[in-house]
Amino acid sequence: MKDTEYIDELIGKYLAGEASPDEAIALDDWKNQSKGNLEYFEQCLRIFEISSGQKFPRSNVNQAWKKLNLENKQQETKVVSFNNNRWYWRIAASLVLLVGLTAALVYLLRSPGTENLAYEADNTTKQVALTDQSNINIAPHSRLEVDQNFGHTHRTVKLKGSAYFDVTHDDKLPFTVDAGKVYVKDIGTKFNISSSANNDTLVITVDEGTVLLFDSLGTSLTLNAPQEAIYVKSLAQVITPTKETSPVPLHFDFESTSLNDVINQVETGYKVNIGLENPALGRCLITTSFTGQDIETVMTVITETLGLTYVRTPEGYLIKGQQCNQ
């Protein structure tokens, strides 16, 4: 009974344009659960449509897809025209040669220690200290890959197998383990990733601090010490054997708030510095809310909404753009 009351309220909010993104997702998921649910929703929709004279759009998804792909298509056409003209082939061959020579030169002149590194443990555990002072114990028969930009533009490492991580925390460059289909991001931490023999099941144990476990299909979970989670790659599912005791997530509610005020609150909440390329941007207004998002997502949503961009700086972030799209 309570459930149907909740659904009626949710549908009402959605149709009245009052649903938050999370509520809209919850309703869409519920609609997809059964034909009955979909019909229930459609009946409510008809009442709204007829009583207010507003029709819901029924889009042509294929047409929209084609429209978006137009630019890619144009690029493909250019490639086809190369096939029809030998001169283009000569130019292309020269370019390939030039690129090849440049690459060879860069390779020969590279400074030592800038190439991709792979650490493999044979029958015993291997200890590795990375350039950012993070220490990793790689379990036997496991492999860790670190690319040349590690510590400069990112701190993502690739893991195949199992390893224990004692990570030096850095707000600006979060340490992330790419364990194949699933990622573990540190939020100031010591944690262990243990893989099954077929590499399908991972056990993530947090000894100290907090990690964010997420995959490309939308699963995401915050784990606090001493929590443990099991991730099954083939099912793309997380199983948490221990009870969740997450701390209260950071929450912001902005309603036509000036960018200056938004920045002040985000700076205090996430302990970062945020600058504006053009001080006049501070007067732009924004309406949004965040609960428990990481700083990168918050920065992305704020700048995307206003049609701006941002870059990382040694102090934090710099919002770029001359004017916002309002």
Partner 1 sequence: MLFKQYYQPLVNYCFTIVKDRDDAEDIVQQTFASIWQKKEELDIQTSVKSYLYRAVHNAGLNKIKQNKVRASYASDAQYTMRMHTSHEPSEPDELKEKISAAIDQLPEQCGKIFRMSRFEEMKYQEIADTLGLSVKTVENQMGKALKILRETLKDHLAIVLIFLNEIY
- The residue ranges that bind partner 1 (CB under 8 A) are 4-6, 8-22, 24-25, 28, 39-40, 42-44, 46-59, 61, 64-65, 67-68, 183, 185, 212, 214, 216, 218-220, 256, 285-288, 293-294, 296-297, 300-301, 304-306, 309, 325-326
Instruction: Kindly tell me which of 9 and 261 has the beta carbon lying closer to partner 1.
Output: 9
The Cβ-side half-sphere exposure at 318, using a 13 Å CA radius, reads 10
Instruction: Kindly tell me which of 2 and 86 has the beta carbon lying closer to partner 1.
Output: 2
Instruction: Kindly tell me which of 246 and 297 has the beta carbon lying closer to partner 1.
Output: 297
The minimum distance between CB 54 and partner 1, in angstroms, equals 6
Q: At what angle do helices 35-52 and 2-15 cross, to 10 degrees?
A: 40
Query: What's 248's DSSP letter?
Result: P
Separation of alpha carbons 4 and 30, rounded Å:
11
The minimum distance between CB 195 and partner 1, in angstroms, equals 22
Strand pairing category for 182-186 and 155-160: unpaired
The minimum distance between CB 83 and partner 1, in angstroms, equals 26
Query: Roughly how many angstroms between the first and final C-alpha of the chain, as a whole number?
Result: 44
Separation of alpha carbons 175 and 178, rounded Å:
10
In the block, tokens 């912001």 appear at 252
The minimum distance between CB 40 and partner 1, in angstroms, equals 7
Instruction: Kindly tell me which of 190 and 320 has the beta carbon lying closer to partner 1.
Output: 320
- Here the tokens at position 20 are 């938050």
The minimum distance between CB 316 and partner 1, in angstroms, equals 15
